[in-house]
């Protein structure tokens, strides 16, 4: 039998964003810098996922930090830590908590895409020899890492998994759901390197017991990134074969 998760996400849903509408327009973020540190997950993979999701094999932990130099709400930097999984046969990353350094961007990400993000100090500092990142919350470092020895590659060599973001949705009552967010990327520049995760407070990311056990890969890209219309929801407590809901899409005129 395929493995499935055992976590009851309703126990942490109180802090998740509440979406009053599932209709949103795409949001393009030009010239964004995006760092990904990919690790094999240490900890109980099934205990970190809800019953609707299968753990990836091997289990993985994905650290993603995006700096948007310009947007309708100004520059911002977003950090997420996701657990690799599958929704049906498709690879995804479960996001139950993230952080952003802009109050305005935090509101947009929560209200339009259901990202469970809170305000913190988030930094991404790329240079010719490495790219470093850190997240500080109430004076404590809850994440620190870097990509070292960057080497040029093409954008075709980089793959980002779609996110399943924990949120509450108001429709015929309030539901705890996972919102699929699968951005489009147009690559301008890409590099790969060696990942180093030097600090990680699992509790601060709502991932108790998780750790980055073994490094897999790291990438740093410059991209035009577009957050999309919402297309799919996942009901976290359902059987995986019955968990995915497709949202109606606007028809062309």
Containing 64, the helix (H) or strand (E) segment is strand 60-68
> Is 155 in a helix, a strand, or coil?
helix
- pLDDT tens across the length of the chain (253 residues): 789 999 999 999 999 999 999 999 999 999 999 999 999 999 999 999 999 999 999 999 999 999 999 999 999 999 999 999 999 989 999 999 999 999 999 999 999 999 999 999 999 999 999 999 999 999 999 999 999 999 999 999 999 999 999 999 999 899 999 999 999 999 999 999 999 999 999 999 999 999 999 999 999 999 999 999 999 999 999 999 999 999 998 777 6
Q: Domain spans of the chain?
A: 9-245
What does the pLDDT look like over 87-120, one tens digit per residue? 998 999 999 999 999 999 999 999 999 999 999 9
Q: Report the alpha-carbon distance of residue 68 to residue 70 in Å, rounded.
A: 6
Measuring CA to CA, which residue among 233, 232, 223 is closest to residue 184?
A: 223
The correct CATH number of 9-245 out of 2.40.400.10, 3.20.20.70, 2.60.40.1180, 1.10.357.10 is: 2.40.400.10
Residues 6+ apart with CB under 8 A from 59: 40, 41, 43, 45, 83, 84
φ, ψ dihedrals at 97, nearest 5°: -165, 140
Give burial (CB, 10 Å; 0-12/13-18/19+) of 217: middle
Asked if 114 and 167 touch (Cβ cutoff 8 Å), the reply is yes
pTM of the shown model? 0.96
């Amino acid at each position: 039998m395929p493995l499935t998760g055992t976590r009851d996400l309703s126990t942490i849903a109180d802090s998740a964003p509440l979406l009053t509408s599932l209709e949103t327009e795409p949001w393009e973020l030009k010239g964004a810098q995006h760092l990904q540190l990919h690790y094999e997950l240490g900890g109980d993979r099934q205990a970190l996922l809800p019953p609707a999701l299968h753990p990836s094999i091997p289990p993985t932990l994905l650290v993603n930090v995006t700096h948007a130099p310009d947007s309708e709400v100004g520059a911002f930097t977003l950090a997420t830590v996701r657990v690799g999984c599958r929704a049906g046969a498709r690879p995804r990353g479960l996001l139950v908590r993230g952080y952003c350094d802009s109050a305005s961007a935090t509101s947009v990400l929560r209200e339009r895409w259901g990202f469970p993000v809170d305000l913190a100090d988030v930094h991404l500092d790329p240079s010719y020899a490495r790219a470093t990142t850190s997240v500080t919350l109430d004076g404590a470092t809850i994440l620190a890492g870097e990509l070292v020895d960057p080497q040029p590659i093409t954008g075709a060599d980089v793959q980002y998994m779609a996110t399943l973001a924990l949120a509450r949705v108001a429709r015929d009552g309030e539901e705890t759901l996972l919102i699929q967010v699968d951005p489009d990327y147009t690559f301008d520049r890409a590099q790969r390197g060696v990942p180093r995760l030097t600090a990680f407070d699992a509790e601060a990311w709502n991932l108790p017991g998780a750790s980055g056990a073994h490094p897999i890969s790291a990438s740093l890209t410059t991209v035009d990134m577009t957050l999309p219309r919402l297309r799919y929801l996942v009901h976290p407590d359902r059987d995986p074969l019955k968990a995915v809901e497709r949202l109606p899409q606007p028809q062309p005129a």
